[in-house]
Amino acid sequence: MALEPRERVLALLRLYGWNATSFQVLQPGFDYWFDPAGDACVAYVDTGRAWVAAGAPIAPPERLSAVAEGFHAAARAEGRRVCFFATEPRFLAHAPMASLPIGEQPVWDPARWEEVLRGSRSLREQLRRARARGVTVREAPTAELEDARHPSRKGVERLKARWLASRRMAPMGFLVQLGPHAFASERHAFVAEVNGEVVGFLSVSPVYARDGWFLQDLLRDPEAPNGTAETLVDLAMRTAAAGGRRYVTLGLAPLAGPVRPWLRLARACGRPLFDFEGLRAFKAKFRPDAWVPIHLSYPARRGGLAAVYDALRAFAQGSLLRFGIATLLRRPRLLVHALAALLVPWTALLALPATARWFPSVQAQWAWVLFDVGLTAGLFSLVHRWRDSLATALGGLTAADACLTFAQAVTYNVPLARSALDWALIAVAVVAPATASGLLFISRDLRLPGR
């Protein structure tokens, strides 16, 4: 009987799963291209324009180049571009592809873990704090996590929901899906508890070809005692050492290390949504033996920007616009900040003498200017400290703004319109406050704890 595709992939992983992220390709959402020789495969996401591979091909080292080229040829036949996300130096040594550094990955030999602890007073202090607050950690048997009715499984599910709710960005797909129970019999899992309540969880994936572990899903309740995450990592490292493992990683620290200047700019601009520096610092506190550069690889005749765009679409599960909107709705202050920032140039435009013809009188023009100045101040105040009552009041004011603007547009501005630019300005003036009102009310209703 033929094996189901994921079972075929698992069989290949047990032989050739060398990439730190290799086990993650068993999560839902991946397609698989199998080499005709039957000894290799590539896991990928089809974005509609590109096949974005998850790491290097799962193949014998000497076959990496040939398998990558076969995958590329199959993609071309379907009218798709290709790129390989999160490749390590070994792949670049075998496959003639261009590459773009996208971050670094810390690695340890867990046999040295005791030495790491002896050399880090701050890490020992975090472990002490967690113990003092009643945090206990243990390895969770597979049976507990496979049984949806077991208290431990229910506790992990509650923790997962709380952890996701505390994230700044909308949930992503591709290599960062949160599926800690998939193929649980192949993995290890550790839980942190306080008085029987799950406050932390660590899911460990195998890296078969290195006899190693990837500490993959590290979840900590927002209210968990300090040191909870460190205590989970400590137990995982000790368990790995006791089992004779020689390779452990905490995975990619994105945009860390010697990345291109435009990626450093993206890192700075993306700080409100993702704490790149904080994640790198968290992983660095465990004093890794080395930092391995991670790349985005693509055919040499393609540009790096196109490959980055394709990879982002894979993480956004297809639509960057939909992902962006979902993220903004999870971040009311960021959304309100954007509205306030956009109002500043708009209000300045309204105050110009050249725009006076769009108002019935000078008094009406300055009434609108003063109204928008007050609205801008209110929005910036909401950014500084969120209050549902203020969000409601500002939503009502922008709704009134939309109604009055529409009335003025119909009775006064439309007859004055002579060009496409005139019509565009009228449309913006009418649509913008209505949109702002809706976004304020949605942000208020969807605002999540801890934000």
Residue 212 covered by a domain: yes
Residue 116 covered by a domain: yes
pLDDT value of position 129: 96
Q: Please, what's the b/e burial string for 286-322 (b: 16 or more CB within 10 A of its CB; e: otherwise)?
A: bbbeebbbbbbbbbeebebeebbbbbbbbbbbeeeee
Band (323; pLDDT cuts 50, 70, 90): low
Judgement on whether residues 344 and 205 belong to the same structural domain of the protein: no
Band (449; pLDDT cuts 50, 70, 90): very low
Q: Are strands 188-194 and 197-207 parallel, antiparallel or unpaired?
A: antiparallel
pLDDT value of position 355: 86
Band (245; pLDDT cuts 50, 70, 90): very high
Whole-model pTM: value is 0.76
Does residue 327 carry a pLDDT above 70?
Answer: no
Mean of the pLDDT values across residues 345-370? 89
Does residue 228 carry a pLDDT above 50?
Answer: yes
CB neighbourhood size of 106 (10 A) = 21
Does residue 179 carry a pLDDT above 80?
Answer: no
CB neighbourhood size of 75 (10 A) = 22
- Beta bridge partners, 201, equal 191, 219
pLDDT value of position 300: 78
Element at 118 (helix H, strand E): helix 113-118
Residue 55 covered by a domain: no
Mean of the pLDDT values across residues 140-165? 86
Say which residue the tokens 């969807």 belong to.
446
Q: What is the mean pLDDT of the chain?
A: 88
Mean of the pLDDT values across residues 196-213? 95
Residue 101 to residue 443: CA distance in whole angstroms: 36
Does residue 35 contact residue 64 with C-beta atoms inside 8 Å?
no
Q: Which residues 6+ apart lie within 8 Å of 246 measured at CB?
A: 109, 110, 111, 210, 211, 212
Share of the chain above pLDDT 90, in %: 49
Mean of the pLDDT values across residues 156-178? 74
Judgement on whether residues 286 and 338 belong to the same structural domain of the protein: no
Does residue 448 carry a pLDDT above 50?
Answer: no
Residue ending a domain, choose from 239, 263, 291: 291
Domain count for the chain = 2
Residue 82 to residue 246: CA distance in whole angstroms: 33
Residue 88 covered by a domain: no
pLDDT tens, residue by residue, 380-426: 888 778 788 888 898 899 899 889 989 988 888 888 888 888 898 88
Alpha carbon 192 to chain centroid, angstroms: 24
* Six-digit token string for 45: 């996401």
Band (113; pLDDT cuts 50, 70, 90): very high
Judgement on whether residues 148 and 231 belong to the same structural domain of the protein: yes
Range name among 304-313, 362-371, 436-445 with the lowest pLDDT average: 436-445
Does residue 1 carry a pLDDT above 50?
Answer: no
CB neighbourhood size of 269 (10 A) = 9
Task: Name the DSSP class of 167.
Answer: -
pLDDT value of position 286: 96
Q: Are strands 81-87 and 290-298 parallel, antiparallel or unpaired?
A: antiparallel
The enclosing domain of 186 has a CATH number of: 3.40.630.30
pLDDT value of position 82: 95
Residue 248 covered by a domain: yes
Element at 53 (helix H, strand E): strand 50-54
DSSP string for 252-302: -EET-SS--HHHHHHHHHTTTT--HHHHHHHHHTT--SEEEEEEEEE-TTS
Mean of the pLDDT values across residues 337-342? 81
**Full residue range of the structural domain in which residue 226 is found:** 105-291
Q: Are strands 247-249 and 212-220 parallel, antiparallel or unpaired?
A: parallel
Say which residue the tokens 């109604």 belong to.
403
